[in-house]
Amino acid sequence: MPYTVITHSGKAHIDEVLAIAALAVHRGEFPSEIQRMNSNEAAEFVAAGNVPPNCWVIDCGLKYNPDHRLFDHHQDRELPSAALMIFDHLFPELKGTDLHGYFKLVSKVDTQGARSLADSVIVGESRDYWSFSQQLLVRIFEEDPLSIINLVSRGLSEKIVFEGAKKAASEWAEFPGRLVEEEIEGIKALAYTEHPPIEIFDGLHGIDRNIIEECGAAVVYGYDKNDSSIRTLYRTDIGHELLDFTRSEAEHTVFSHQGGFLLRFRPTDRNEWRKIVSESIL
The DSSP annotation for 22-90 comes to: HHHHHHTS--SEEEEE-HHHHHHHHHTT---TTEEEES-SS-EEGGGTEE--TT-TTS--HHHHHHHHH
- Please tell me whether residues 126 and 255 are part of one structural domain: no
187 shares a domain with 92: no
Is residue 123 predicted with pLDDT exceeding 60? no
Q: Is pLDDT of 162 > 80? A: yes
Q: How far apart are CA 265 and CA 209, in angstroms?
A: 23
160 and 23 in a single domain? The answer is: yes
> DSSP class of residue 197?
P
Instruction: Clarify whether residues 138 and 104 are in a common domain.
Output: yes
Are 21 and 152 spatial neighbours (Cβ–Cβ below 8 Å)?
yes
- φ/ψ of residue 156, rounded to 5: -65, -40
Greatest mean pLDDT among 117-131, 203-217, 265-279 = 265-279
On whether both 90 and 190 belong to a single domain, the answer is: no
- Structural domain contains residue 184: yes
Which of these three, 164, 189, 219, is where a domain ends? 164
Same domain, 127 and 231: no
Using the 3D structure, point to which of 134, 164, 194 is the last residue of a domain: 164
Phi-psi region of 38 (alpha: psi -120 to 50; beta: other; left: phi over 0): beta
Question: What is the C-alpha to C-alpha distance for residues 224 and 262, in angstroms, rounded to an integer?
Answer: 12
Q: Residue 246: which pLDDT band, with cuts at 50, 70 and 90?
A: very high
Q: State residue 28's pLDDT score.
A: 96
pLDDT higher than 90, residue 63: yes
The pLDDT score that the predictor gives to residue 244 is: 96
> Considering the chain, what percentage of its residues have pLDDT values greater than 70?
94
DSSP 94-152: GTTSHHHHHHHHHHHHHHH-GGGSTTTTT-SHHHHHHHHHHHHHHHHHHH-HHHHHHHH
Q: What residues make up the domain containing 10?
A: 4-164
Residues 36 and 64 in one domain: yes
CA–CA separation, 195 vs 111, rounded Å? 44
pLDDT band, very low/low/confident/very high, at 208 (cuts 50, 70, 90): confident
Angle at 222 between CA 218 and CA 228, to 5 degrees: 165
Residues 6+ apart with CB under 8 A from 172: 178, 196, 197, 200, 204
Same domain, yes or no, for 216 and 150?
Answer: no
Q: For residue 110, what pLDDT band results from cuts at 50, 70 and 90?
A: confident
Q: What is the mean pLDDT of residues 46-73?
A: 96
For residue 274, the domain's CATH number is 3.10.310
| d(C-alpha 119, C-alpha 134), whole Å | 19
- Please give the Cα distance from 64 to 85 (Å, whole number): 9
The verdict on 159 and 183 lying in the same domain is no
Report the range of poorest mean pLDDT among 14-23, 131-140, 163-172, 263-272: 131-140
CB atoms within 10 A of CB 19: 27
pLDDT surpasses 70 at 277: yes
Q: pLDDT grade, residue 129 (50/70/90)?
A: low
Mean pLDDT of 142-171: 95
pLDDT at residue 255 greater than cutoff 90 = yes
Give the model's confidence band at 128: pLDDT under 50 very low, under 70 low, under 90 confident, else very high. low
pLDDT higher than threshold 80 for residue 114: no
Number of independent structural domains in the chain: 2
Does residue 124 carry a pLDDT above 80?
Answer: no
Please give the average per-residue pLDDT across 208-223, as a whole number.
93
Contact 88, 104 (CB under 8 A): no
Are 207 and 104 part of one and the same domain?
no
Does 203 lie in the same domain as 115? no
Q: Is residue 37 part of a domain?
A: yes
Same domain, 31 and 84: yes
The answer as to whether 174 is a domain residue is no
Domain limit, last residue, from 108, 134, 164: 164
Q: What's residue 142's pLDDT?
A: 96
Q: Look at the pTM and tell me if it is higher than 0.85.
A: no
